[in-house]
Amino acid sequence: MKILHTADWHLGQKFLSRDRIEEHQGALDWIRTTIVEREIEVLLISGDIFDIGNPPSYARQLYYKFLTSLQGTFCRHVVIIGGNHDSPSMLNAPKELLEILNVHIVGAVTKDLQDEIIVLKNEKGVEELVIGAVPFLRDRDIRFSVAGESGSEREARMREGIVHHFEEIGKLAKPYTDQKIPILAMGHLHAKGASASPDQAKIYIGDIENIEGDQFPKVFDYVALGHLHRAQLVNKQNHIRYSGSIIPLSFGEIQDKKSVYIVEFKKNQLQEIEEVKIPRFRSLISIQGTIEKVKERLEKINEDRKGTLIPWVEIQVEMEETIPNIDSELRDFSKDFWLNILKIRTKRQHHALEELTEMVNLDDLTPLEVFQKKCNSDGIMEETEQAAVVHTFQELQDWMSEREG
């Protein structure tokens, strides 16, 4: 049996006020072609299907069109879990309808743990695969906040709750070992022994490591994770993996290769895991240096003409003295080039002092980023307090987006 593991699509993402529709379309078409060519039978999407709780209609259209396009392929089943970016109610709304197309959705935890056990059957109605599909676990799913609890106590209780949840799912899956069929888990969390992309680490300062690699119950033959955008194994364990995002979601992710995993089982034996690289449709390029160096690089990018879509560039100009109108100078210089400058920052070096000035529009930041910048400004709060405060802000955002969604 061949399974394709992907995650972190973030459909509907706004990237410095631009949308990613063409890149997402390219990546989804490629996934569909891969499913057809490699005769994939089961598709797992481990959360963060959408970038926001109330995604724009074009993002929903991409999603539904993709799911519908799998009809008539080898792919018999799709299993989707909710991530921290997804609104559970939005994801769950078409649950019954999608069930008819063999698309199984676990948007959020319910009162019954059994709802997370998905048993897939072949054409003859014989059980062929079991999945413990654990959606992103929110505070309210595993614990109630305790007044006066410190940030670290709260984190410890979160961690315990998550480990316990997976143990319980493992127990429910255990009886299927007798049937000699693969038993898988899905999760959307931050596992210890995995590394985030440099930018992602910044985006999620409120994020904590939720579970250790060896705390996943042994009953699972493969653990398909989502949340970290870089494809990787957890704690060097071959069968516990993040597939990573399908397109780079920030300039911090441009070094990462983007890929999916094809996981092959013979009966209940894991045979092979293959990492398949997703083509890059648009180059995201980050350049840094003196104004002369920056101009050279811009000329080079224009000559190279890489990718099918126009490259997006962020620039950091290093200088000793302030150069007036540097923004318009660079934009004029490259106005006929095959590239778009998305962001220009300047870095002034004088007397060993470094000053970084960001020319960034408020529109280009998410509310969370604005909040984090505020938290980061001098003297507002201790670093140890930040994680908890940011976490609370995220919860508040979740709550609001669910009301909207």
Beta carbon nearer to Mn ion, 187 or 217: 187
Q: Residue 186 CB, nearest distance to Mn ion (Å)? A: 13
Beta carbon nearer to Mn ion, 104 or 188: 188
Q: Residue 343 CB, nearest distance to Mn ion (Å)? A: 23
Q: Residue 83 CB, nearest distance to Mn ion (Å)? A: 4
Beta carbon nearer to Mn ion, 28 or 249: 249
Q: Residue 48 CB, nearest distance to Mn ion (Å)? A: 4
Q: Residue 227 CB, nearest distance to Mn ion (Å)? A: 4
Residue 370's φ and ψ, nearest 5 degrees, are -65, -45
Determine the residue type at 132. Answer: G
146: left (phi over 0), alpha (psi -120 to 50) or beta: beta
Q: How many CA atoms lie within 13 A of 188 on its CB side?
A: 29
Beta carbon nearer to Mn ion, 227 or 391: 227
Structure tokens given for 65:
């069109």
- The residue ranges that bind Mn ion (CB under 5 A) are 48, 83-84, 227
Beta carbon nearer to Mn ion, 82 or 151: 82
Q: Residue 6 CB, nearest distance to Mn ion (Å)? A: 13
Beta carbon nearer to Mn ion, 203 or 389: 203
Q: Residue 14 CB, nearest distance to Mn ion (Å)? A: 16
Q: Residue 376 CB, nearest distance to Mn ion (Å)? A: 21
Beta carbon nearer to Mn ion, 83 or 182: 83
356: left (phi over 0), alpha (psi -120 to 50) or beta: beta
Rounded to whole angstroms, how far apart are CA atoms 253 and 14? 15
Residue nearest to Mn ion (CB): 227
Bridge partner residues of 261 (DSSP): 5, 275
Rounded to whole angstroms, how far apart are CA atoms 405 and 403? 6
388 Cβ neighbours under 8 A, 6+ residues apart: 150, 151, 154, 206
How many residues belong to the chain?
Answer: 405
Beta carbon nearer to Mn ion, 13 or 283: 13
